[in-house]
Each structure stands twice: as structure tokens, then as C-alpha cells.
Structure 1
């Protein structure tokens, strides 16, 4: 029968210091090995490059020497052929009709461009043969070079060269050769020949050499960069009297294959070793990070166990208590060791609450269960504790559940505070009702002040005129009708304020804002010397849903306040401006004055109830205005007027 896995909750303090020291030493050796492998790879690369450069220099030297010897060999053979031709010309006393029958110079007619006999008495360029005169006249320095060549043959009694000189048929270069003929020590003439350098290189250099190299004459027309893009070097050709240099450009890759193949194999081995070491390094790094996390988790668990106020405990699958932290022991008055060693029902579990383990397991296994369950525990001294319990399964990395973990949070003090807060809330609600009654009374006093004052004035005037018998019956009727209208208005004010105070829904009807604002603003009694400036658009303007009577009270109050504050700044003329401004889906009624404005320290309390800033004021006018505007789902703002430099109040109302 398979046994259930068990967990030892007391074997969690692992000593990882020795493992960390071994890991650090392994990392140090591994780092040194990585450096050694990298240094070996760099050394191999440098050695290969050095060997390739040395081999390339050796090849260049060998190629240059071979090229010099080959060309000099062919030119010495040409000198011999020209000596034969000179002797034949001397014996025939005229030009030779045909070249020698054999030899590489004469198999291709283009290798020798021109040749001829120059007797000793024709040193003057005017007496030279036609082909020699043409070459001398081709460029300014050609005559001097050819004359020097002829003088050298007479003076040194050996063949001499000149050039390379420009050819007659284009940019090609020709090399001139003069071979002297002496009889009994006396100079009798020169045999002169011209050979195209490019044809000589193409016809006399073996094909196997030209397959791997390109030969270019070193002159002013030679390109700065190699034509094929490869490396090139200059090979000087030692000819007496001629400055001949050839650029030898290697075609393709001439690097030796064997060293590179050996290096490639070694580099692959080193790369494999390096990848292996890198993989080992990463594995060691992961192990170090795992050890660091383990040490951190152990330190964190220890610190949490010592400092947490949340009671924790764990059971196995059979319901045996395996672990309890010190906080839970302090909560119930028992030590963790006593709780773990106790057999039977837990000593902190009150009778009549069922089985603690079954309740905890059902709560942890039910996904629809609340985040926590309120229960009661019994302290060791007998008093009850209110706790908030959470439970969760204890699972291994494979997902197998091997136990259950529960937490208990003491909420006894919280419940006591909640009960106290509930009693305080009842007292606050009672106080709020008293404040609301006072606000309603203040609102009624503020709003009824004007109609009742008007009624009192009309009644006093009518009574005085009746007593003095200075009024007729026809004059009494209009006065009484006007008093009736004022009384009806006072009644409507009482109804609206009563409904507003009880937070009842207002009767909002479509209201044309432009004539309404004009009527209320012109009907407000302004002090003497204060000018009303109405800036309203033509027509009825926008329409808003509003209770006309309440909105009239708010706007009337703002215009009266503006009229009272306008002359107090000393600026003349004292003005009150009323206009409309548009917003995002809203319309604003703006009332500005030329008074001193609202001080910055009063901006936060200007709309508070009973916060009056003028002598004799109740402090309810602006508070009522804000309440009325907010009841219309709008807002009221105050700022300094940019034009009048006084206060500027704006009633923002939503459009229909």
C-alpha cells in the first residue's frame, strides 16, 4: 500500500554556506578555463595570420624574381637575334627582308613592332630611319631618350634600352632596344627594335602564371586600386637604361589550404569546448541564483515567522496538526509545541462549532467560497476571540496535495471598533438631521426675506394712505393684487425650498436661457452708480432643463452680490456684466463685477454655509446657489475677471 508523502516542517533551516563556497571556487576555475580557451583561440588566429603573411611575402619575392629572370632571359635572346640581324644588315649594306626563321620573338608578328639598322654615321636624328624618327617626334622627351640609348651602346659597347615610350597606335607603351655592332673595335652601327610591353607580357609569360596573376605596367595610367580587388605588389625588371616596373595582382585566394583546414578543425574544437564551458557556466549561475533565492526565502520565512501577527497552522491529510507559528500560539495562549503534541480536538476550538479541520478543508476546496470565514476561538484563559480564517491546500511541485494550511487573523478589536462606529454613525445621522433642519430654516429666512419685506412695505403704505383717506377704491385694487402675487411667490418659494431640502425631484421644464437671464438681471435692484452690462446673443438663445423659480433665486442672488461688491474697489465706473459662455455640452451664465474680487485664501470656503465675508451676512446665499446649481446637475465656479478685475461667478448648466 503506497504511503502518503509527509513533510517535516522543522527541517527547513538548510546550511548552504559550504555549497556556496564550492560553487564560487568552481566558478573561479571555470572563468580561468574560459580565459585560457579564449586566449588559445586568439593565439591561433594571430599565428595563422602571421604564417599566411610570411608565406605571402615569400611567394611575392619568388614571383618577382621569377618574373625578372624570365623577362631578362627573353630580352637577352632578343638581343642575340638583333645581333644576328645587325650582322646581316652590315653584310648586305641594307635592310633585312625577313626575320630569323625561329624563336619566340618572331613566331608572333606583334611581339616586335618595328626594327631596323642604323649605321654609325647617322647619329643626327634627321638621318634616323622613318620608324625611329616617328617615335622621337611622338613626345617631347622621346628623342632625348632614344639618343641616350644610342650613345650608351657606342660608349659601353653593349645593348641598351629606352622607355617605355608611348606607341603610335594608342596608349600602349613600347620598350626600345639598340644592339651595337663593332668590327675590329670600330663602331659600325646599331640595330634598333621596338617591342610593345603589353604584347610581350601576354606572349612570353607562361599561361599557368597568367591564370593566377594579372600583370600591369607601372606608369601614369596605372589605376590606384587593384583591378580585381585582390592584393598586388611591384616587381622591378632590371634592364640597362630602362625603368620598367610591373604590378603583379593576385587573382583569387592563394592562401594555403592545409593550414586553414587545420585551423578550422582546431577552431571548431575550441568553439565546442567554449560552448560547453558557457553552458556549464550558465548552469552554475542558475544554481547560484537558486541558492540565493533559497537563502532569501529561508531568511524571509524566518523573519515572517518571528514578526508576523497572523496565526498560521498546517495539517496533514489525516487532520493531524503539523505546524503552528508563534503568532498563533500567542493568539490562543498555547505554545506551538503544546498544540502539536496535543491529541484529540484542538484545545482552542470551542465546543459546538463542529470539526475545525473539516471546515477548513471544505472552505479551501470550494472555489465559490468567500475570501475568508469569521469564526470564534477560545483563549487558554477562557474568553472568546473573533478571527477571520483563510484556508488553502498545501501542494507539492507536482500538484499533489499533501496537507492544508490555515491562517487566523484576530478581528476582535475590529469588531469592537465597528460596533462603536455604528453607534457613532447613529449619533451623526441624528446631528445631520438637526443641521438639515437648520439649513432649511436658514434657506427659508434668506429666500423669504425679499417677498415678505415687499409685502410689509406695500401693507404699511396702503394702511397709511387709507388712514389719511388719500386713496380711492380703484387705487387699492392694484396694490392688493400685487400683494397677492408676492404672497403667492413666497408660497412657491416655501414649496420649492421644502422640496429641495427634502431632496425631492424638482420639476424641470425647458427654459429659454437668454430672455430668462435678461429678465432676472434687469429686475435685480442695483445700488446707485452701478451699471449693468448685458452681453447676450440675439434671439431666445440655448434652452436648458431647469426649475425657473429656483434658478431665478440663484441668479438673482449672484447679481445682487455683484452689485454690492462692484463699487468697493474704487474703480469707476462700477460695473456688473452678465453674459453667456459655451462649454462642452454645457452653457454658462457668467456674472462678473468690478469689485476687489475674492481673496485667494477664501476660494476654498466661499461656498460653505454660514461662511459670510460681508458685514451682516448670514453666509447662506452662495451655499444656496451652489445647492441649486448642483440640483440641476451643474456646477458653479469662481475666479478673477480678466476684464473687470473683480469676482467672476459662472453657473454651468447642461443643455437639453
Structure 2
């Protein structure tokens, strides 16, 4: 046949190369022939073209494209397709020569290439390129904003860190178990330990005072069960060098960004110097009060001497009378007993005056106890009766049942002496014939003492600063008496005020809280 002739011709041409040759046969087959060198024999093989395309062309390509195998005269010898493509559809041809002379593999799209479709791909590519550029620009801007935000965050963190490190207040954060999470430099300076020695440390802490460990552990347990409520307390810390300091601690709940209660944030202040200053201030106040008492007693010296002379003279008289009776051997037991009783009474009276003077001049710490003010008012008025008589003034005491107060007896006596002597002197200078009235009345959860005189009153230009130091309404006054009075009242957490008295004079009012309000039982 013609195919055999073509194959024979090709075999003669390829005889010297010892390679297989191919020839398209009629129909849908291809024949391969090989003649080994030095041999007259020919090996041939026939391959089905449709079967070759079906096996070697994937199905998904045939779904989108028509795959044809054509010979040199554009005759379709084999195909793998799901239909006939449009003549205007885009196609691509691959030459199969060699090995098949004139053979071409053509791939054609099923859809025609419309002008819009032809422009769609470049437009899509351009769009994707533009989108990529915009995405890169957006990514660049986002990266710039992120770097700027990170820079601001770092600056803010550095600023906050510098603020924390510049504070003189110690800061300490701890979790619910008491483990230290954070300390600032002020806290490290306060306790003398480095942050590395404290952060992550379990209880007990190295800065706890040995005698306060149990107390601190109880407080930590109370924090754990007390909920997220701020607390404040005073305690003592031990520094790394062994010295101890007094501190004020404010514990506030440590809340994280999610609103969870993570632990406690403590602010610690060294109050060692403040306490020392407070002790010095109390000592100075006591010294000033004692000075005021000495000044008062100095002013009353002649009156006290006269007051002491009376019982001493009576004692001497009773003693002399008793001695005379004994010498005359007329010692009637009843008469001697009466004389000795009167002598003993006058001795007790003199002793009370001397003890009162000793208590007033003695340097002592305030001793607070539940007192009955009625007794204090009556005894103080009795102590000043002699001084009042010298100045022609009568003291009227008006006492009603009042609650007990938590007070120092000597300080209250000094307070009443100052107020009553001021009233006596004011009335003596004015020549008033009315009485100095000292009254005691109960108030709401307090006891109120009022000292009302009939003196000339307080000048308006002095009224606002009457209780200031070195302010006096007397020509020769030192101006410390009323200042001491205010200090004593404030020491008892009371209030001292004054007002004009109806009909002339001044009323000084002392209001002191009841002892029951302070949680102290009456003695």
C-alpha cells in the first residue's frame, strides 16, 4: 500500500541511524518501524491515535479546549474534545514533525475571542497590578503607622517609667498569694533591697520586721478574703542594714486590662520622721501647757499663799489649844477629839491644795480616762474661789448630769482654770457685781461646758484671732492662755468657741465627745 511504501522509503533514509521512524497511516493509526543495523528485518508497531490522546490528554483540558491531531494536509486524524470549537476561537498549534512528518497538534478554545474578551485579560492583569501597587502602598502606610504607634508606645512607656522612678512614694505590686510582681526604685531605696531580690519572692519578705511577721500574714489573709476593697494601715519595715522604719501603706486592688482583680498595688510612705516630729510636737505642746500652768500659778501665788495660810493657821491654833489643855490637865477626851478632828480636816485641806499645785506643775504625759465632768467642774471652781473673792467675784456652778468623756483630768483642770480666771479678771476690772457662771449640760453624744462672765466682752478686731498665740485682751497678758486652751480641747477631739453674752460679757463653750462614742467603758 501507499503507507507501506512511505514507511519503506523512510526506513531506507533512516537505515544508517538505527532509530525508529514513524508514518501516518490511513485512518486513525500511526506506524512505527525500526531496522537494526546489519539486519534485513524490520520491526513495526501500530498505535491508535485516539487512544493515545485519551490516555495522555487530561480530561480537564478537553473540557475547556478541543485537542486535534492533523496531518500535513490539515486532515484531522484524531481528536479529544467535548464539541466543535468556534472558528474564531483562539488556538495554538504544536508541530509533531519530527517524528511524524507534517503532523500538527492543535488546541482550540470552545469560546470565541470577542474584542471585549481579548481586552479582558490585559485589563485584569492591569487591575491586578494596580491592586498590588495599592496593596503595597496600604501596607507601607500601615507599616508607617505601626512604627509610629510603636514609637509613641515606647515613648509613653519610657515616660511612665520615668514618672514611676522619679516618685518618692514606694510602689509595690503583688498577687493574691503575696508574691511581689513589681517594685519601683523609691521602694528599693526605702527598704535597701534591689528589685532582683524582691520580684518573684514568696512570703515572708526580707523587709518584714521580725516582730511583725505574724501580724503581716494575718493582714495578707484578710486582704484575700476581704474582696477588692482599698485598705490603709501602718506597720514597720526592716531595711537591709538592720534598721527599722515606720511606714504608712495604702493597698488598692490591682485590676488588669480585662477587668480582672490580679492582686494589690501598694503605695508606701516612710513616716518615721513624721512620727518623730509628732512626738516632738506633743512634747512641745506639753511643755507649753506646763509653762502656762506655771504662769497661772505664778499669777495666783499670793492667793494660794493666803489659801494655804488659812488651814495652816487653823492647824496651829488647834494644836496649841490641845497642847494647853494637856498642860493644864483638863484634857477632856470629847473636847480633844473635836479639836483633833478639825485639825485633821484642815491638814487634809492644805494637802489637797499642795497636791493640786504639784499636779499642775508636774511634767507628765497625758493620761486619758473616762471622767465625770461634774466633779472636775466643782473641784476647779472650789480651787479658784479664793482668787475670785480677792477680786470681788462670785462663782456660780450649774451642773446637770452629762455623759462621761475620755480626757486627761489635769489638762481639763488647766483648761477650766484658764477660762474661769480670764472671766474673773475681766469681771474684776469691769467692777461687775454679777456671778461668773460655770455650767455643764449634756449634748448629742457630747458634754458641753460653758463659762459665762460679765466682763467688757471681746473687741471685734480681736475676735477672729482670739485663740492665736500671743493674742491677748489684757494689757499685761502673754497671749498664750487661750491658745493652750484650744490645744487642750483639740487634743481631746473637741471644739472651743466663744460668743457674746446677752446683757454683756462673753461665753466660752467647750464641747467634748462622750466616752461611749470612743468605745471606752465608764470607770
TM-score, length of structure 2 as denominator length: 0.38
